[in-house]
Structure 1
Amino acid sequence: MPPDIRPGDGMTGEPRLRRLSPTELDDGQRAVYDAVAGGRRARGPQVFPLVDDDGGLVGPFNAFLLQPRLGFALQALGAAVRYETALTDRAREIAILVTAVAADAAFEWYAHEALGRHVGLTADELTALRTGSFDALADETERVVAATVHALCVRGDLDDDEYRRATGALGEPGVFELLTLAGYYLTLALQLRVFRVS
């Protein structure tokens, strides 16, 4: 069963990156900062902060400033998997939350639990996702999304039955979207863990 993660779990030690202030950014870093803090994420529901009280980027985004060309591309991919897929809002948040549990990514859980509640996930559904009880989800497509992402995160593959079930529910384009979303959030989970971001 997936772990029962809480903010701060899965990591030991102090944060390894200093949070950069907006006043010390070069032009490339500023482009990344503006894309995150002033882009589509900032226009959506603000259920968790993108910046701290001093204006520094929180969560995974501060690390994006280390290498602005890659950070800019990564934030653009994140915006695409959040806003440009055919997945419903609920299915997207289910996929992200399942990834967060499998990767023991406490910050991802914290941020996307709030977004999940915003798009209608109930406390019971969140508990089901946290504990791997995907059959508790009422919607078949959402059950498929959860089980597919779990398999991807745990085994890095789908067997033939899982692939048929996923393509039957989502189509091949939808499976591609789900693969990309899971890969993106697994990448963030790795960065959050290594840089000790809580």
Structure 2
Amino acid sequence: MADSRIASLTPAELDVEQKALYDSIVTGPRAQGPQLFALQDDHGRLNGPFGLMLHVPGLGSALQELGSAVRYRTAMTARIREIAILAVAAATESQFERYAHERVGHAIGLSDEEMTALRGGDFGSEDATEQAAYDVCRHLLGGANTLGDEEFRRFEAHLGHSALLELVVLVGYYRTLSQMMNVFDVGAPAGLEDE
């Protein structure tokens, strides 16, 4: 990974607003249970998009809250959520999201073969709902900003309107994180990019 274009902040460097955001991230749902990926480095600096969020805490707080809702307060199955996140990571070439969510994906039961297929953009599932969710993501990530009437009806028939809305928000959120990290050259933690 190249050096980031923006400094990673240590806890000692944070102002009051940044410290409040930092605390909400390191004590929130991402930090509960088994730690499948490194949220912080050895100096307490936040990895991935979280370190970027600290630089603009008013925006960062809203982003991290939306991310928490997408990850922990939707009706998506864990498999569909991780399939969708990994589809975004592959399409946007996000090292951090791939690093973090392949670990989560393995923990919730995605196989090595499924991970390879997701990396290559050719995932397939015998589960019609999983396949429809993946197809929605690939469609949106392929440059489309909408679904045609026929596609919308097909995807809504498999997923329902609530799940379809959740997926659209998930794709937009993770695309935003990936774009932030790509612009500021933030990748996976050093030494872990290709694990």
TM-score by length of 1: 0.90
C-alpha separation between the residues in 2 aligned to 1:69 and 1:44? Answer: 27
Task: Report what 1:158 is aligned to.
Answer: 147
Task: Report what 2:182 is aligned to.
Answer: 193
C-alpha separation between the residues in 2 aligned to 1:130 and 1:164? Answer: 28
For residue 54 of structure 1, the aligned residue among 43, 65, 75 is 43
Task: Report what 2:170 is aligned to.
Answer: 181
C-alpha separation between the residues in 2 aligned to 1:140 and 1:44? Answer: 30
Deviations 1:62-81 (A, max 9, x none): 11011111100100000000
Count of residues in correspondence between the two structures: 186
Sort the Cα spacing of 1:78 and 1:44 in 2 relative to 1 into closer, same or farther, 3 A. farther
Matches within 5 A, 1:112-123: 112-123=101-112
Deviations 1:128-184 (A, max 9, x none): 21222233x221111111110111111222222321222112211111111111100
Matches within 5 A, 1:120-135: 120-135=109-124
C-alpha separation between the residues in 2 aligned to 1:165 and 1:128? Answer: 23
Q: RMSD over aligned Cα, in angstroms?
A: 1.2
C-alpha separation between the residues in 1 aligned to 2:16 and 2:25? Answer: 14
Task: Report what 1:138 is aligned to.
Answer: 126
After TM superposition, the runs of 4+ consecutive aligned structure 1 residues lying more than 3 A away are: none
Matches within 5 A, 1:76-115: 76-115=65-104
Mark the runs of 5 or more structure 1 residues left unpaired by the alignment: 1-7
For residue 137 of structure 2, the aligned residue among 149, 155, 164 is 149
Mark the runs of 5 or more structure 2 residues left unpaired by the alignment: 188-195
C-alpha separation between the residues in 1 aligned to 2:56 and 2:95? Answer: 24
Secondary structure, aligned partner of 1:111: helix
How far has the Cα of 1:14 moved from its partner?
Answer: 2.9
Secondary structure, aligned partner of 1:158: coil
Secondary structure, aligned partner of 1:134: coil
C-alpha separation between the residues in 2 aligned to 1:33 and 1:113? Answer: 24
Task: State whether residues 29 and 65 of structure 1, in contact with CA within 8 Å, keep that contact through their aligned partners in structure 2.
Answer: yes
Identity %: 47
